[in-house]
Amino acid sequence: VNTALFRTDTKDLIIYQRSADLIYRPVNISRAYKQGLEFLLKLNWTSYMSLDLNYIYQHTKNKETGNELAYSPEHSAKLTGKWELPAKTRIETIVKYVSNQYSSPDTARKEKIDAHCVVNVKIIQPMIIESFPIEIFVHVHNLFDTNFESHAGYPDDGFKFLSGMSINF
């Protein structure tokens, strides 16, 4: 179990504000802060099965306006289950949750991005070919094709499948 308290005070923070033409442009905030708590729990049930839980609570503020900072969710969490099969095949299931958050520095307008939860799966098969360690992998992002936005007005990818091979020389 690991826990951490954090606080970051920032001068001249650059954020992006959406204009009437729907284009995001950089804007300076003279003073802002983020503070909160991070919690990490790792459980190793067996030598081939583990579970990681990471949770972050944060409070943010634009000191000029007193508003919360945009794109800074109050709560976020990630749960990762890891399994290793007899042939050294690794399977990871990752569940990510992000609470709703303001999408505009002008939080008085109450524009928020909805909370969302996404499930990703990875399957990794390590091998050695002619003394080179390689990994063949399959990654499935957004397994249940959840509709969500990380940036207001721009839907994130739905179900996405990626496969490949990495080689270490």
pLDDT tens for each residue of 51-102? 999 999 999 999 988 889 989 999 999 999 999 999 999 999 999 999 999 8
Calculate the dihedral angle through the C-alpha atoms of 71, 36, 107, 145, rounding to the nearest 10 degrees: 40
The structure's pTM equals: 0.86
Phi-psi group of 38: left, alpha or beta (phi > 0 → left; psi -120 to 50 → alpha; rest → beta): beta
Residues 6-62: pLDDT tens digits? 999 999 999 887 778 878 788 889 999 999 999 999 999 999 999 999 999 999 999
Query: What's the whole-number mean pLDDT along residues 131-138?
Result: 95
107 has a pLDDT exceeding 70: no
* C-alpha span between 115 and 149 (Å, rounded): 9
**Cβ(92)–Cβ(81) below 8 Å:** yes
pLDDT tens for each residue of 113-131: 999 999 999 999 999 998 9
Once rounded to an integer, what is the mean pLDDT over residues 142-160?
A: 92
